[in-house]
Amino acid sequence: MQAIFPNFAYRRPSRTPIQLSWSGRTLVVACCLRFNRRARSTGPADSPDQTYADLILAGIEQAWSGTYQLGTEEMPEPVTVLVRFQAEGTRKAAAVRVHRLLLMPAHVISPLYRRIWGIFRTGQLESMGLNWTPRHPGSIVMPPYRQARTVRSVAAHEFGHLLGIGDAYGALYRFYSAAPGTGHYMMHSNSQVQPEEVRMLIRAHASGRMQFFPRRWQTRVFRDGLRREFGQLLRRIKS
């Protein structure tokens, strides 16, 4: 069977920070990112020769580039993903900021004027903070982690959100219920990119809509998760 590759049509390419295209069976992910001064000039103590920006780019490229067996009728043969970074002035860039965070962990967030109403577009609580479209993928915000490997793994996870993929772990907006069978996924545990996640990023850019893992309501799981998170919040405030 001949592969049928989805088409990616960006209405305003000059305003779209991350763009997908095909070169044979290779999926090229062209990225334009903009780093703040701290990310460009400082780095973790255990990697004095590399800045946060260097490590973030390395983590993204290493995690998402590779060959994947997508296992679909349209694409029965393996697909290679190639991440390429382009100079900041090439087109509109997605912001990546490193600065101290008091309560929140690393995250991707939309500008204030795009927040909240995204939930009406998707029906997903996750869209309250990240109202994703290819033209508006959000901004990565990361604390200044002390270990280089943490910077790389967290950056790879947050980049998944810029690509249009939701979380798989048991977050509040997922009612603290993780998507079944995703424990080793990038969007669950910052582990390894899986074929399903590549399928999701393709669907996101082909449809212009963020892709989410299935969620379910479990009263006991939600209650225990809320209690656990509230306790963690209190400990952070006290420290």
Calculate mean pLDDT across residues 33-50: 96
Q: Is pLDDT larger for residue 108 or for residue 6?
A: 108
Can you tell me the distance from the alpha carbon of 33 to that of 217, in angstroms, rounded to the nearest whole number? 36
Burial label for 189, CB within 10 Å (0-12, 13-18, 19+), is middle
Sorting pLDDT into bands at 50, 70 and 90, what band is 183? very high
- CA-based radius of gyration for the chain: 18
Can you tell me the distance from the alpha carbon of 115 to that of 125, in angstroms, rounded to the nearest whole number? 11
Calculate mean pLDDT across residues 199-218: 94
Does residue 2 surpass a pLDDT of 70?
no
User: Who's near 54: CB < 8 A, 6+ residues apart?
Assistant: 43
Sorting pLDDT into bands at 50, 70 and 90, what band is 220? confident
Q: How far is CA 147 from CA 18, 46, 62, 101, 124, in A?
A: 27, 6, 17, 16, 33
Lowest mean pLDDT among 72-76, 78-82, 140-144: 72-76
List the one residue out of 218, 127, 211 whose CA is nearest residue 173: 127
**What are the tens digits of pLDDT across the range 146-156?**
999 999 999 99
Check residue 230 and give its pLDDT. Answer: 77
User: Who's near 22: CB < 8 A, 6+ residues apart?
Assistant: 5, 28
In this structure, are residues 126 and 166 in contact, taking their beta carbons and an 8 Å threshold?
Answer: yes
CATH fold group of domain 13-238: Collagenase (Catalytic Domain) (3.40.390)
Can you tell me the distance from the alpha carbon of 205 to that of 139, in angstroms, rounded to the nearest whole number? 17
Check residue 179 and give its pLDDT. Answer: 95
Residue-averaged pLDDT of the chain = 93
Q: How far is CA 40 from CA 59, 76, 186, in A?
A: 15, 41, 25
